[in-house]
């Protein structure tokens, strides 16, 4: 296999339904194509096996050494699934997706690696098989992931997702614009998901009620998007944010950015992903995108980006 293979996967944004999706409610998520993880595979030293380097993460591991590492686990799962022996190769991972910030960096890195390795071995995986494999890795990272990250990242299309069901790709009537603001606070999803689980175990009826209310507005959001009534998404985002606050996954920093976006002219805003840090999103009209971005920067956002959902 003396050749070079490159493959990539985008980040993702959860529009509506994070956390409730772990408990069987629907969620809507879209790929974030401005940010990507990339894996480049080239032939390595004969007899040395597979080595994975991720410069941004300061990682350099062989398959044998790194059995517990997510990247090594991804490679091992690909080899097992394809029934292929370990190749003598080098995999270089690069990612522009900030880690632990709700944009799916872990799933995107795994997806890029698995996709590239399968192509390198001459047995490409289709998106569904890739998604299943990345889900196995997500379970190690997250504990009880819903599967939404791997699904939207591997399919690279907007999805309406219910745990345990085939993902439904959905289409927008009209594109809409989001501004994404990063609190700069790393917040591992595994921890927020664990905290919600503990709270749900203490007060199941209360939390089931929150999750159901979120489910209702996710369905309303899908209907609005498919009908081209994008302006309806703003108030739905605000309602989803209020419920996420009640669930306990918001934070003062997130709420500061959410408020700044609203004051700056956004139609609605909410945290996105695991919460307690990471990113928030704001729905804007295209001519307000600049103003809202500036408002977020002024309010202390570490990174701000504008993306259009098609
Ligand atoms: O923080 P992220 O981008 O990994 O999103 C997590 C989404 C949750 O609903 C909180 C967890 C899950 O597995 O769906």
Q: 3-state secondary structure string, the chain?
A: CCCCEEEEEEEEEEEECCCHHHHCCCEEEEEEEEEEEEEEEEECCCCCCEEEEEHHHCEEEECCCCCCCHHHHHHHHHHHHHCCCCCCEEEEEEECCCCCCCCCHHHHHHHHHHHHHHHHCCCCCCHHHHHHHHHHHHHHHHCCCCCHHHHHHHHCCCEEECCCCCCEECCCCCCEEEEEEECCCCCCHHHHHHHHHHHHHHCHHHHHHHHHHHHHHHHHHHHHHHCCCHHHHHHHHHHHHHHHHHHCCCCHHHHHHHHHHHHCCCCEEEEECCCCCCEEEEEECHHHHHHHHHHHHHCCCCEEEEEEEC
Looking at residue 170, what is its pLDDT?
Answer: 85
Which of 188-192, 235-239, 286-290 comes out lowest in average pLDDT?
Answer: 188-192
Q: What is the mean pLDDT of the chain?
A: 94
Ligand 1 pocket, 193 CB below 6 A? yes
More confidently predicted of 59 and 125: 125
pLDDT band per the 50, 70, 90 thresholds, residue 1: low
Pocket test residue of 159, 189, 271 for ligand 1, highest count of atoms within 8 A of CB: 189
% of residues, the chain, pLDDT over 90: 84
**3 alpha carbon to ligand 1 midpoint, in Å?**
36
pTM of the model: 0.90
Instruction: Give yes or no for residue 22 CB within 6 A of ligand 1.
Output: yes
149 is catalytic: yes
Could you tell me the distance, in angstroms and rounded to a whole number, from the CA of residue 145 to the centre of ligand 1?
7
* Ligand 1 mutation target, pool 149, 196, 240, most atoms within 8 A of CB: 149
User: Which numbered atom of ligand 1 lies nearest the CA of 19?
Assistant: 9
pLDDT exceeds cutoff 90 at 135: yes
Strands 50-54 and 89-95: parallel
User: Comparing 201 with 140, which gets the higher pLDDT?
Assistant: 201
Q: Is 146 in the pocket of ligand 1 (CB under 6 A)?
A: yes
Among 56, 80, 149, 182, the one annotated catalytic: 149
**pLDDT confidence of 66, banded at 50, 70, 90?**
confident
142, pLDDT greater than 80: no
Confirm or reject: Cβ of 277 under 6 Å from ligand 1.
no
Chain segment 22-54, per-residue pLDDT in tens? 999 999 999 998 899 999 999 999 999 999 999
């Amino acid at each position: 296999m003396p050749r070079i293979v490159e493959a990539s996967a985008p980040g993702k944004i959860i529009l509506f339904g994070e956390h409730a999706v772990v408990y069987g409610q629907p969620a809507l998520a879209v790929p974030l194509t401005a940010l990507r993880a990339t894996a480049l595979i080239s032939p390595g030293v004969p007899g040395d096996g597979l080595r994975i380097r991720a410069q941004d993460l300061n990682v350099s591991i062989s398959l044998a050494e790194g059995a517990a590492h997510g990247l090594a686990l991804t490679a091992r799962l690909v080899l097992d699934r394809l029934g292929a022996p370990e190749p003598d190769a080098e995999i270089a991972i690069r990612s522009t997706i900030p880690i632990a910030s709700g944009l799916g960096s872990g799933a995107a890195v795994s997806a890029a690696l698995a996709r590239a390795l399968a192509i390198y071995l001459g047995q490409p995986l289709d998106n569904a098989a890739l998604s299943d494999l990345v889900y196995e890795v997500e379970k190690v990272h997250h504990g009880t992931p819903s599967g939404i990250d791997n699904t939207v990242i591997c399919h690279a299309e907007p999805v309406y997702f219910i745990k345990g069901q085939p993902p439904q790709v959905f289409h927008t009537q009209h594109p809409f614009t989001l501004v994404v603001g990063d609190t700069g606070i790393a917040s591992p999803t595994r921890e927020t998901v664990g905290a919600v689980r503990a709270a749900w175990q203490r007060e199941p009826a209360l939390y089931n009620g929150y999750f159901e209310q979120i489910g209702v507005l996710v369905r309303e959001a899908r209907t609005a998007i498919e009908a081209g009534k994008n302006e309806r998404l703003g108030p739905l985002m605000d309602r989803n944010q209020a419920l996420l606050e009640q669930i306990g996954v918001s934070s003062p920093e997130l709420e500061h950015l959410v408020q700044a976006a609203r004051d700056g002219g956004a139609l609605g805003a909410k945290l996105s992903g695991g919460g307690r840090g990471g990113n928030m999103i704001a729905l804007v009209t295209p001519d307000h995108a600049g103003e809202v971005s500036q408002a977020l920067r002024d309010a202390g956002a570490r990174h701000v980006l504008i993306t259009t959902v098609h």
